[in-house]
Structure 1
Amino acid sequence: MRKIYSSGWPKDVLAFGFMLFLVILCGQLNAQTRRYVISGKVTDAKTRETLPGVAVRLSSTTAGISTNASGDYSLPADVAPGQYTLTFTYIGYKAVSRTVQLAENTSVTVNAEIGQDAVGLDEVIITGTSEGTTRRQLGNYVGSVSGEELNKGAAGNVLTGLQGKVAGAQITQNQGDPAGGMSVRLRGVSSVNSSSDPLYIIDGVIANNATSSVTDNQQNRLVDINPADIDRIEVLNGAAAAAIYGSRANAGVVQIFTKRGTSGDPVVSFSSTYTNSNLRKKMPVNMAPLKFGGPTDGPGALTQDIISLVGGVLPTNTTPVTRYDYQDYIFRNASGVDNNLSISGGSEKTKFYTSASYFTNQGIVKNTDFTRFGLRANVDQTLAKWATFRAGLNFVRSNANEKPYGNGLIVPVGIQWIIANFHDIQKRDVLGNLQAVGERGRVNPVSIIEDILQAQRTNRVLANAGLKLFPIKNLTVDYNIGIDNSEQEGTLFVPPYTYNVSTADGSYGGGPTLDPAQNGFAGKRNASQYLFNNDLNITYDFPITSKISSTSQIGYSYQYQNGSSTSAAGRGLAPFVQTVGGASTPAVGGDGRSEFSVEGAYFQQNFKVNNNFFLTGAVRMDGSSVFGEDQRNQTYLKGSGSYVVSSTKFWEGLGVSSWWDVMKIRAAYGESGNLTGIGAYERLNSYSTASYLGRTSFSSSTQQANEDVMPERQNELEIGTDLFFLKNRFGVTFNYYNKKVSDLLLSRQIAPTTGFTSKLDNFGSLENKGIEFLVTAAPVRNSNFSWDATIIFNRNRNKATNVGAGVTAFANNSSGPVSLISGQPIGLYYGSYFARDAQGNLLLTPAGLPQTERGVQTDPTNPTAQRDAAGQPTGTVLRKVIGNPNPDWNGSLVNEISYKKLSFRVQLDTEQGGQRWAADWRTSQGVGAGKVAEAEHLGKVPRGFVNANYNIEEWRSQPGHWVKLRDVSLSYRFGTIKYLRDLTLSVSGRNLISWDDFVGGYDPEVNSGGQSSIVRGIDFGAVPVPRSFNFGLQAKF
């Protein structure tokens, strides 16, 4: 590997760690021991059902095992005779300890009953180090979702399954393609120019979830992960929680743990789900039996609706027309299946989990679909009493047949809103060819559905391996490596049109002459991403006294990532040819490459006092090759503390313990940096090739290089409490956080005399302040009936500071006025607005039409309006903040009722406040296809009403609040039936109803900006999120 990818300083740390590893491995001493076998059965304290997968561990030793499918365990232990403690831990259950005396009898039986842990204080959380910790020790909030909870409702992929289940998270499905991109924000925006999505770690592998694409469609790369393979997910919201993971975790961490095998007879599990999806809501369209414009109104007057001015005049002539709803030709009822088969089991020393999955789902846009085939194998091997080995391999192959997306002229969802809807788009000539749809040279929507072919194919391998050593008592050495390697291929084929389509890029037509050098298009792009990480963690537990214990941890990590892409394209295709080689007019190809590395080391110290007071401190140093040598290495601190007041003698004396069960207070502070906030070479001058006088030359970028830029720096303070009452039937978790990011990486405008127009620099900051509530309740719980409820409430306020005077506009695919303004929230809509009188009513023209406000732009956010002698607006067009895509708050309400073997679950999600940018809706009015245009056709509003509103940007800013019936599910668990260990049948519905005031689109839960931190709430060419119904079966053999 070339020298540029090593920061240099951690080599000494690595050498020291390696030497320490050798010393402790070679210096292992064995006391005089005997072989004991401790066995027993673990059952649920309430239902008396056996529990597979319960972790059983003998304290002060390395001996540990999990119960098998029948709840049995047999734990061999080579230890000296004496008294020990046997602990039983299981996700969602209280930890149980049993004292065991090991003496002459080498076979000992210890059975245990464990009860569900509504509080979760003893739940084991993996916090980025080799050893887990209980929730009671954490000074920061960590959300956890079990695999069972994740898969309720058949969400179809990992991130949609997390919606509404994690406090502090805003999870948005950007569009409704079967593999459509997702965006996840934990506690608001963490950067401006780079993504605010969290770091994803799957079984120790740092995974790629960038919405990279080889077509124009953004895919959610976590769609490659099979939800049925997931055991649990842990979500760490802030820098205080993520400091131990390094600076790539500045936006939080989502840890995914897949299922592992347990000792015992093999267990075969099979699940199958059938899904039917459809368009939840159709947009109302203009069905007026006439159009504006006639034969005397100029060229094209009969083939388009003349809504706007023609030569400064609004035509009043009308022509009878028959109108169509193009949505009927674009959308469909879609179906899909999700089949999963797994086998798990093993012996005391070798455990395995293997699975195969096949998922296929049609999109609600005709001729779109997504198919995924996956194989997974996880193995855990006990090498010796002081060493264990684990490995995992996941292979995924996926294929997506798509249609173009976003702001384009061959986008099926968008094209219906940029042509008048009185064309019979299914009409064909005598040769069976489709017809043109107007003089504009637009593409017929049916051509896009039937003839344009776009596809993405992905091969992906995620692999991990780990070695854990217990060389001496209380010392653990854990080494882990991970690889995420993916190869993508994308193709786009636009056949030559048989009718007039514009020759402009994006339409790829041949014009009225069907120019053979331009008509048709073929393109191909290949991309690869390779991520490698390896981590060494050493943990030492030391009991200082009987009441005070210490845990010391030291670790080192190295991460490397490279990516490459090549592309080729051409226009002017011969008949029946779909490849780039058949193009008569080749386009300039592309070849891009990038690589960088990140490495770091940390030390963390924990103290535990009386098992109720906990302190943690940590320091970490990270370096990244994307920054210059002088700014590459940065140091970050972390500190946290928690106090379980209800576990003290003081609490016992208050007399409240009969109804107040748990009180825990906690606080945490953490620092982090954005070490991947710029591209691998963005700090350097870049050059592009050009032809000059017949020779190849180079031209410099317009952005000036800056070797001195440093990583953005984030610090966060979190304060919280966990309270539980009435025998843990009612619980409240509360978090307050204050997150600040300084040294933002932004482009600063500089004088053109420098030879550049901008310079990459560190300036400005942003902050997020918020609160999070998680309320849990179990109003009824007995042997036959239970009712559980969960409420999540999240509120975040963000703003940018010191980002310069004026307004910084951010380009996006809808030309929406997305802006950055000092002292204001991130990503505001800033543009022209309606003129209003002193009472706030629209100030109309003498013709009764709305108009743009005018005056003097004295201040970017508080301009001064002016009026002429007639009381009408005068001066320049004014601009101000006209919308904010950030919600006031978001939350969810979940109710789950169980009666014997029948379970019913309802989930409501909501987002209140905020606006959406209705780009499609506005263009539909401009071509006469929308309902506002219909009102003008029918004389319900004055002639020229659409034309008057069209260029007032405030018209596109609409209410974005919503309440959604996210999920309704009903399941029946039959239990054991003849040859089946377990059988469950279920039916569910997802995204069934949305209560909102968003008239400008299909769904206010939309984001055409993808994973962008600043471009939010844009509705432009996005496939709407469908409504789906699912029928499922789960069986174990």
Structure 2
Amino acid sequence: MESNRQYLTKRALMYGAFLSLCWGPVTAQQYAHASHAPVQHTRVSLEQALKAVASRINKKLVYDTRQLAGKQAHTVSAGLPADRLLEEILTNTGLTYRVEGDLLVIFPGDVTDGASSNRSIRQQLTVRGHVKSADGEPLVGVSVSIKGTTTTVSTGISGQYSITAPEDATLVFALIGFVKQEQAVAGRTQVDVLLEEDNQALSEVVVTALGIKREEKALGYGVSVVKGEDLTDAISNNWSDALKGKVAGLNLTQTGSGPLNSTRINLRGDRSLDINGNEALVVIDGIPMINGKISSGVDQAYGAGASGVDKDIPIDFGNGLSDINPDDIESVTVLKGAAASALYGSRAANGALIITTKSGRRREGGIGITVNSNTSIQDVLRWPDWQYEYGQGNNNRNANGDLYYSYHLSEDGANTGSTSSAFGPRFDGQYYFQYDPEIEGQSVDRRLWRPYTDNIKGFWRTGLNFTNSVALDGATDRFSARASLTHTKNEWIMPNTGFERIVASLNSSAHLSKNLQVNAKMSYTAKSSDNLPGTGYNNQSIGYFMIFQNPNVDLEWYRPIWKQGKEQLEQIHPFSSYIENPYLIAYEMTNGLKSNTVEGNLQGIYTFDDRWSLMVRSGLNMRQDKRDNRRPYNTANFPQGYYKEQDVYFFESNTDMLLTYQNKLTPAIDLRASLGANAMRYESKTNNAIARGLLLPGIYKLSNALEQALADNDLQRRRTNSVYGFVNFSYRDLVFLDITGRNDWSSTLPDGNNSYFYPSVSSSYILSDIFSLPDAFTFAKARLSWAMVGNDTYPYRTAKYYSKTDFPGSAEAPSVLHNADLKPEISRSWEAGVNVALFNNRINTDVNVYTITTENQVLSVPLDITTGYSSAFINAGEIRNRGIEVMLSGSPVKNDNFSWTATATWSTNNNRILSLSEDVEGEEQIIATSGTATLLATVGGSIGDIWGFGLVRNPEGQVVFNGETGLALRPNDISKIGNAYADWRAGLVNEFQYKNWRFSATIDGQYGGLLYSQSHHKMTEQGKLRHTLLGRETMTVIGEGVVLNDDGSYSPNTTPVPIQTWYGDYYRRANIETNSFDASYLKLREVRLEYNLPVSVVSRWRLAGASIAVYGRDLAMISDFPIFDPETASLNGATIVPGVEMGQLPTPRTWGVNLRFQF
């Protein structure tokens, strides 16, 4: 028994020794010397050796025992592949092998004769590992490929990867900004890699105009790239919010008008006197998108007390930008300069945002699945400083001379309850006859005079937002695809408002042959809302109600909406017929939306050879909105109700062709040249059907119109045909030169002026390679560019067109004189910049300076009425923008477990109007008006200058008062009060990573700028804000300033003014100066804390990755602006007017949690 046990032990040890030779792990360093590995000797039988090899490669061994009897295995070398190992074992044995399916067959023959049989027996291994940077930080998105094949995977959120590869394969690890590294598998199943940063490269690939990918170092103009993951750190209803503070020179203007919150994107300042002609172009996967807005209401945000069909309130139905799903975005490249966007011609006179969507990637196991679930809550960021010490009243006094209150006539005195002002008695424990909601009238007994401090805040609720998405992607050698589906359900902070959105997208690519690649992309968005809030200073807006609500009025009194027994006929608004019931505004004055958007393109790329290729692409963008506005009976503007249906249709198609040639002209010079063409077709339609009154209340159908329903429509079409080309030269990767040219033919311009050419020249110099710089310089680049781009104009301005009227068969002559000689606006731009990286990329700075001059402005100038026209279009005016943009990033701390990266941006833009037309009276041009504030262009001034009446001041700057009345003197003429745009903007992003934890925070703000507030005017006039407590004790105010004496000298003002008169006059609506405020602010924009589950955990759950994050957006703000938020503008129909606040709605503050699972 003992001898048998010793025999078995000996055989097992010998068998194990042979297995260890076959399977023993080899480190990367050892494998580098594998060809010189020492010969290992063993005394194992040939039969046992072959069984060990068969086990290693998962094959069944088939052999004749007589042929193997008594034979010993020959010497073998460690680390050999299985086929080489078999050759060594069988050499000089008279035997060879072949593989048949799962069988390893041994038979007579010469193993050195490779032609004798099928010898392909390389074992397929599942190789796993982690890829990190040299300082131990996990690297996401590293391409891991098998050398010589197209098999590729990417590392996950923790730098992990998994790939199936032959045992003797070589893996290639590549990531932009790092040195490519190769690792031999050598039979290993675990291969971990550290990648070194490529200090010489710094050549990040960016997507430029026309969707062309270029190395950043080759560009002669400044670009900014925001990665897709940076857009989803703190999700909002409009993903473009995530760009704030991250791109120098970018200004996003929003109206704060509801959950969809349309955005005006501006790069490097306004260049056109047409306020709607300054928005950047948005391009998705090479196709321009429709980002315009069409109003459903009046074209003025100020509409107080107005009535009639033309005075419906502006509604923000959103623009195309908000329909993009941020989880589908791979990156956003911001082309700020004209040289960067010149290839888009007149479409990109104001720069461009190039959005690249995600595509399919090869995944281990075939298809990758990403599930993302996001839940967030919203409340109000900040409230105005209301006063709750005094109640409703107009300084009314009883027979004893005391302030009193009475809802309707009572024994205490006349009615004081119908005013909107709060200059009544202090809340001091007294009792008055007040409103009784039970009887919907005056209370029988006196009631406690008290404030309701929640009577505005209590109207707003905690908002909820749920976003869930699933994405599937994968790829093979010839095909890749990604499909995603996202559902968003929003319940905004205002009751009965919000929206629902579904976005489905598909992005695919197929190599149909060696030469032909076809790419297809399509997305569909369905968006709906039962109610979106109105905006502006209009009694249909909840902002209007907040202004007029009094401190002594309980919000609950309004909740029933309708008076008992008079449902749908008479609302509860007991204090003023001009102030609508807030719950009626929320639940009865609804603005519905059903929107469908389709966007996509089909692209074919044919590669003739290494030099020539042809790209053909056709894309479309189509959007259709069905909107309705419902207004019940018994409202100030529409006493008999109102109903409107509006159909809005946008369509744009773009077809491109691009022929490209690239070649190495000499060993030092590389050339790439392209010639292309584009055909653009655009159409928009609007159909309106309006019931001015309702026959039966509460029934919203056109057939229920009190009178015949009115209908009108609008149609606009435009076409642009273009040819373009560019040439890129590279000299030894040291100097780069780009030359571009584009010619557009526009249908909106007259014959003779509808053809215009846009050239550009840009260059880049890699100073760190051209010169010998100090060791501290890792990389240095200088760039310089010049470009000319332009703007055409709107349709139907070059010929005489007639309009329909309300009377069938009739037409209306135009009131605007056409101009058959209109020319396009032309912008010429110079830009210079430097990019420097120091201390092994620990510090990186990028600086741009630019000058942009725009001429041939298309202006509307007034005409004498005797001409038969009110105005005419002309070309005139010259605008100049100069600015500086700075980006500074760095890694103050980087080690194996912890890293801290920071990025700061700063920008300033100076705008100057150099000239206007001599035909413009007084050298002034109105850009926009909102209420009593006017954006006025004057020679020597700037776009964004706010003009209006202000205060009269003496030479020392003191306010001058009337010595008799005590009121401030009023100037005879308007003057410049300030400018809507900031002196400078800045942002700071910090990110900290500790093992699997990541924390990031973004702050941004602006310095300077002016904002006129209609809400401040009215709430001050009515005594609603805390600063109006000044003078309540004495009931008078003495203005701080001087009076003009008869001898021309000045003396201090000492004349008291009754408080209600004082606040009503000094802060009157026409006084733009006293109601305008510094728009500077600093915001804690984003905060995110994320935890990525360790690989050891997710692997047990059969996941590729998982993370959980909590985040916040717009969490805190520092600002002197007294209303909700200085980051606002007014909405004049479809026009966003900066520098003016009109009945602003609150800004939401967001808290959320995000779960992500990858399979």
> Quick check: TM above 0.5?
yes
For the structure 1 residues 539 and 849, does the alpha-carbon distance in structure 2 shift closer, same or farther, using more than 3 Å as the test?
Answer: farther
Map residues 896-907 of structure 1 onto 2, 5 A cutoff.
896-907=991-1002
What secondary structure is seen at the aligned counterpart in 2 of 1:581?
Answer: helix
> Secondary structure of 1:572's match?
coil
C-alpha contact (below 8 Å) 2:422/2:550 kept by paired residues: no
Structure-2 residue corresponding to 1:4: none
Q: Residue 741 of structure 2 aligns to which amino acid in structure 1?
A: V
Equivalent position SS for 2:240: helix
Q: Which residue of 2 aligns with 1:583?
A: 705
Relative to structure 1, is the Cα distance of residues 618 and 111 closer, same or farther in structure 2, using a 3 angstrom cutoff? farther
Shift of 1:52: 4.9
Q: 1:697-729 CA distances to partner (integer Å, 9 max, x unpaired)?
A: 433222101021011111111000001111110
Q: Give how far 1:894 is off.
A: 1.1
Distance in structure 2 (CA, Å) of the matches to 1:233 and 1:889: 23
Aligned to 1:790: 903
The answer to whether the 8 A contact 1:423-1:437 is kept is: no
In 2, Cα distance between the equivalents of 1:149 and 1:544? Answer: 41
3-state SS of 2:242 partner: helix
Once the two structures are TM-superposed, the CA of residue 901 in structure 1 deviates from its matched residue by 0.8
Q: Distance in 2 between matches of 1:375 and 1:271?
A: 15
Letter in 2 for 1:406: G
Task: State the one-letter code of the partner of 1:161.
Answer: A
CA gap of 1:608–1:1003, structure 2 versus 1, over 3 A, is same
Query: What's the counterpart of residue 382 of structure 1?
Result: 511
Deviation of 1:464 (Å): 1.1
Q: Which amino acid aligns with 1:289?
A: G
Instruction: Quote the residue 1:275 is aligned against.
Output: 376
Shift of 1:229: 0.8
Q: Does 1:772 align with 2:885?
A: yes
1:565 is displaced (CA, Å) by 1.1
Letter in 2 for 1:997: D
Question: In 2 relative to 1, CA 597–73 (structure 1 residues): closer, same or farther, beyond 3 Å?
Answer: farther
Q: Distance in 2 between matches of 1:853 and 1:926?
A: 17
1:645 aligns with 2:767: yes
Counterpart of 1:710, as a letter, is: K
Contact between 1:703 and 1:757, CA under 8 Å: does it hold in 2?
yes
Deviation at 1:230, TM superposition (A): 0.8
Contact 2:359 2:481 in 1 (8 A): yes
Equivalent position SS for 2:547: coil
- Quote how far apart the aligned CAs of 1:1021 are: 2.3
1:80 alignment counterpart: none
Deviations 1:300-323 (A, max 9, x none): 754105689xxxxxxxx9999655
Residue 251 in 1 paired to residue 350 in 2?
A: yes
- Pairs within 5 Å for 1:55-70: 66-67=152-153
Does residue 528 of structure 2 align to residue 393 of structure 1? Answer: no
Deviation at 1:95, TM superposition (A): 6.5
Whether 1:752 and 2:865 are equivalent positions in the alignment is yes
Pick from 521, 545, 562: which aligns with 1:415?
Answer: 545
- In the alignment, the residues of structure 1 paired with residue 686 and residue 1010 of structure 2 have an alpha-carbon distance, to the nearest angstrom, of 37
Q: State the AA in 2 paired with 1:363.
A: W
Change (3 A) 1:758 1:98: farther
CA-CA distance at 1:99 after TM superposition: 14
Matched with 2:1073 is: 954
The match for 2:288 is 206
State the 1:819 CA deviation: 1.3
Determine which of 374, 390, 394 is the counterpart of 1:292.
Answer: 394
Aligned match of 1:912 in 990, 1007, 1023? 1007
CA distance in 2, matches of 1:147, 1:329: 37
Secondary structure of the residue that 1:878 maps to in structure 2? coil
Q: How far does the alpha carbon of each residue in 1:470-508 deviate from its partner, in whole angstroms, 9 at most, with x for none? A: 1111222111111111110111112223xxx43xxxx21
Partner of residue 755, structure 2? 633
How far apart are 1:749 and its partner, in Å? 2.4
2:298 matches 1:217: no
Cα gap change, 1:67 to 1:149, in 2 (>3 Å): same
Aligned pair in 2 of structure 1 residues 1003, 988: CA closer, same or farther (>3 Å)?
Answer: same
Letter matched to residue 358 of structure 2: K
Q: How does 1:333-344 map to 2 (within 5 A)?
A: 333-344=462-473
Residues 183 and 1010 of structure 1 are in contact (CA less than 8 Å); yes or no, is this contact kept in structure 2? no
Q: Per-residue CA shift, 1:410-434, capped at 9, x if unaligned?
A: 0011232145554445436444864
Is the Cα contact below 8 Å between 1:74 and 1:348 reproduced in 2?
A: no
TM-score under structure 2 length normalisation: 0.75
1:524 corresponds to which of 634, 645, 648: 645
Contact 1:192–1:1013, Cα closer than 8 Å, also in 2: no
Identical residues among aligned pairs (%)? 23
The letter for the 1-side match of 2:177 is Y
| Alignment deviations for residues 373-416 of structure 1 (CA, whole Å, 9 cap, x no partner) | 11111111011111111101111101132121123220011232
What's the counterpart of residue 1128 of structure 2?
A: 1006
1:331 aligns with 2:460: yes
Q: 1:406 aligns with which of 509, 522, 536?
A: 536
Question: Gaps (5+ residues) in structure 2?
Answer: 1-121, 185-190, 298-313, 399-408, 424-431, 435-447, 1038-1056
Paired position in structure 2 for 1:891:
986
Q: Which amino acid aligns with 2:287?
A: V
**Could you tell me how far 1:639 is from its partner in structure 2?**
0.1
CA distance in 2, matches of 1:916, 1:51: 44
Paired residue type of 1:1030: G
Counterparts of 1:473 and 1:896, CA distance in 2: 43
CA distance in 2, matches of 1:1016, 1:822: 20
Does residue 656 of structure 2 align to residue 539 of structure 1?
Answer: no
TM normalised by structure 1 equals: 0.84
> Where does the alignment leave 5 or more consecutive residues of structure 1 unmatched?
1-36, 77-84, 101-109, 309-316, 510-518, 855-876
Shift in alpha-carbon separation, 1:430–1:593, aligned structure 2, 3 A: closer
Counterparts of 2:378 and 2:289 in 1: how far apart (Å)?
A: 29
Larger C-alpha radius of gyration, 1 or 2?
A: 2
- Alignment match, 1:682: 797
Question: 2-side partners of 1:326 and 1:466: how far apart?
Answer: 58
Deviations 1:583-616 (A, max 9, x none): 2134532211111111211121111111111111
Contact 2:377 2:463 in 1 (8 A): yes
1:259·1:353 contact (CA, 8 Å) conserved in 2?
yes
Task: Specify the alignment match of 1:353 in structure 2.
Answer: 482
Aligned partner of 2:1072: which letter? E
What does 1:718-757 align with in structure 2 at a 5 Å threshold? 718-757=831-870
Question: 1:903-933 deviations in whole A, cap 9, x for unaligned?
Answer: 1111110110011011111112233433344
Whole-angstrom CA distance in 2 between matches of 1:891 and 1:994 = 15
Question: In structure 1, which of residues 456, 464, 468 is the aligned counterpart of residue 605 of structure 2?
Answer: 468
Structure 1 residues 43 and 387, CA, compared in 2 at 3 Å: closer, same or farther? Answer: farther
Q: Is the partner of 2:1113 in helix, strand or coil?
A: strand
In 1, distance between residues paired with 2:323 and 2:1002? Answer: 25
Change (3 A) 1:89 1:852: farther
Of 324, 334, 344, the match for 1:235: 334
Tell me the SS of whatever aligns to 1:585. Answer: coil
Secondary structure of 1:190's counterpart equals coil
- How far is 1:352 from its partner? 0.9
**In 1, Cα distance between the equivalents of 2:684 and 2:952?**
51
Q: After TM superposition, give the deviation of residue 327 of structure 1 in Å.
A: 2.0
Secondary structure of the residue aligned to 2:269 is coil
Structure 1 pair 436/881, CA: closer, same or farther in 2 (3 Å)? same
Task: State the SS of the aligned residue for 1:584.
Answer: coil
Separation in 1, partners of 2:859, 2:1063: 38
- Residue 248 of structure 1 aligns to a residue whose secondary structure is helix
Contact 1:329 1:446 in 2 (8 A): no
Q: Structure 1 residues 299, 245: CA separation in 2 closer, same or farther (over 3 Å shift)?
A: farther
Structure 1 residues 98, 744: closer, same or farther in 2, change over 3 A? farther
Q: Which moved more, 1:116-125 or 1:1001-1010?
A: 116-125
Which residue pairs with 1:31 in the alignment?
A: none
1:995 corresponds to which letter in structure 2?
I
Hey, what's the Cα distance between the residues in 1 that align with 2:281 and 2:860?
A: 25
Tell me whether 1:266 sits opposite 2:266 in the alignment.
no
What is the 5 A alignment of 1:126-141? 126-129=207-210, 131-141=212-222
Change (3 A) 1:849 1:280: farther
Partner of 1:311: none
Q: Structure 2 CA distance, aligned partners of 1:1014 and 1:153?
A: 25
